[in-house]
Amino acid sequence: MNQIKLPRCKHNYMLRLSSVSFLICASCSHYKYRFPWSRTLRPHATSHPSLLSSFYNISVVLQFELMEGYSRDWAGLVVDILECISGRLTDPKDFVRFRAVCPQWHSIPITHARFAPWILNNAEVHGSGDIQFYSLGTGKIHKKHVPALEGKTTRIAGLGAGLLIGIDCDDKLSAVLVNPLTGDSNALPRLPEWCQCHRGYLIHGFVTDPKVTGEKDVFVVIYGYRWPVGDERLGHIALWRLGDADGWATIASQRFWPMMPQYMSRLSKHGPRMLEEEMATAAAGCGKNGLTNGGKALIPVMESTYLLLNKDRVRFLSQHWMFTDTTHLPQPQVTFELHDLLGDSSALVDWDNAPELQDKVILHSGRDTLCYCHPASDDLARVGLSKNCIYYLSHLTDSVGGQDYYLVKWDLHERIATIVMQIPRLWDWVPGQWFLPTLRKCSS
């Protein structure tokens, strides 16, 4: 292995590309290059031709430059090669390291492969600021550090669009939006007073993804509901557009869910105060029972009902367990139904009449409000997620009466659930939540 010595420099980064690795200084462009002289990367039909060709061309040039004593400015590596390399990185951590080589690499708008889903393992984050995930792509546990969560206990109240909503356990009106992949964070506007938790009242939320909603903006939704089971009632909903200095719009309406895309659009155009005035006028005109939905809320998490959001339409996914003697049945007994909300009642929807769900991978978590719904792809298929299936996580009884944690899929067409794989023993009785890592910023 031939090496060139690199002067001591605090800006060094190691970049490994297949059997070629570089140690690069982001500020002064010094580098140490390692290359096995007896082997060169040559393109061949069974591998990615453009990728190998890129590596091979780089290796030929570098061999010549090393022998002649030349240096290279790595910030000028052509965009096509950067695209080619980044497109092969399915682990989010590798992609972040790749972009961190130098400011120029970070600023180039190169694309990346769809990151494999992670599973969130924290209901709360304590003083360390560390959040734990399990990656389906690597089969490894990732611990991500978020500086904004250090020195306090934070409850994870919701997630979405690659971001987490954290609420301070000591100051329940203080919330923060964080990206655990990049460490980026942004303090949310102070939550409305009704978010002060008291017995029987819980606060949850989610973040919308513009790719799903069709909106250009990211929205944060906070909602509260009251127990006990069988008498769940929606208290309020707070809606905030990322970057809006005017704060939250509070909506006291149980009809928020089916009209959610329209409310988001109005919030973007008119602001939170005007939206609140519109809602107050509508509530006054509808009379006593006009917005009560029969006095009982159709609440995600409660009654095993979840949201499927697709641009200007919201549909409701309900999960139903079949309580039978499962002593000799290794497969989980569960089914799903799709509903539309019509007035104060719901209508069952046939899966074949939901074209927006065809050829999609649906990720469903028991503690989440929204379900992830993404187009099927080779990247998702490589980690065991195929189209026209709902994937969820469940504790199931093993052969000796214990409990193990599994990834399970429910086929939309076959109407049957099957176990995909066992998840490592880290969850105990805290349910995991799907998380799709992104490089999204927490500010507008």
Q: Do residues 353 and 417 share a domain?
A: yes
Q: Do residues 262 and 160 share a domain?
A: yes
Q: Which residues of 328-339 are buried (b: 16+ CB within 10 A; e: fewer)?
A: eeeebebebebb
Residue 35 to residues 102, 121, 436, Cα–Cα distance (Å): 22, 40, 35
What DSSP designation does 257 have? T
Q: Is residue 389 part of a domain?
A: yes
| Domain enclosing residue 97, as ranges | 12-107
Q: Do residues 380 and 261 share a domain?
A: no
Give the confidence band of 346 by pLDDT, cuts at 50, 70, 90: confident
Q: Do residues 284 and 322 share a domain?
A: no
Q: Is residue 444 part of a domain?
A: no
Q: Do residues 122 and 271 share a domain?
A: yes
Q: Do residues 290 and 307 share a domain?
A: no
Q: What angle do CA 171, 174, 180 make, to 5 degrees?
A: 115
Q: Is residue 162 part of a domain?
A: yes
Backbone φ, ψ for residue 257 (5° rounding): -60, -55
pTM for the full predicted model = 0.75
Q: Do residues 41 and 133 share a domain?
A: no
Output the pLDDT for position 305: 79
- Per residue in 72-118, pLDDT (tens digit) is 565 666 666 666 666 666 666 676 777 676 676 666 655 554 577 89
Q: Is the pLDDT of residue 308 over 70?
A: yes
CB atoms within 10 A of CB 186: 16
Q: Is the pLDDT of residue 6 over 60?
A: no
- Per residue in 405-443, pLDDT (tens digit) is 889 999 998 888 899 988 876 666 667 899 988 888 888
Q: Is residue 212 part of a domain?
A: yes
The closest alpha carbon to 156, from 121, 201, 122, 129, belongs to 122
* pLDDT average, residue stretch 191-207: 80
Q: Is the pLDDT of residue 392 over 70?
A: yes
d(CA 433, CA 443): 23
Averaged confidence pLDDT in the chain = 73
Q: Do residues 146 and 74 share a domain?
A: no
Q: Do residues 289 and 372 share a domain?
A: no
Tokens standing for 223?
Answer: 């909602």
Chosen domain end from 86, 107, 128 = 107
Q: Is residue 256 part of a domain?
A: yes
The total domain count for the chain is: 3
Is the pLDDT higher at 250 or at 62?
Answer: 250
Q: Is residue 245 part of a domain?
A: yes
Q: Using DSSP bridges, classify how beta strands 305-310 and 141-145 pair: parallel, antiparallel or unpaired.
A: unpaired
Is the pLDDT higher at 25 or at 420?
Answer: 420
Output the pLDDT for position 300: 59
Q: Is residue 163 part of a domain?
A: yes
Q: How many CA atoms lie within 13 A of 56 on its CB side?
A: 13
Q: Is the pLDDT of residue 337 over 70?
A: yes
Output the pLDDT for position 9: 39
Among 67-71, 185-189, 422-426, name the most confident range. 185-189
Cis peptide before 228 (omega within 30 of 0): yes
* Amino acid identity at 370: L
- Least confident window among 131-135, 397-401, 419-423: 397-401
Output the pLDDT for position 107: 65
Chosen domain end from 107, 136, 169 = 107
Output the pLDDT for position 87: 62
Chosen domain end from 253, 275, 295 = 295
Q: Do residues 102 and 32 share a domain?
A: yes
Q: Is residue 314 part of a domain?
A: yes
Give the confidence band of 54 by pLDDT, cuts at 50, 70, 90: very low
Q: Do residues 22 and 133 share a domain?
A: no
Q: Do residues 133 and 253 share a domain?
A: yes
- Per residue in 348-381, pLDDT (tens digit) is 999 988 988 899 999 998 777 888 888 888 878 8
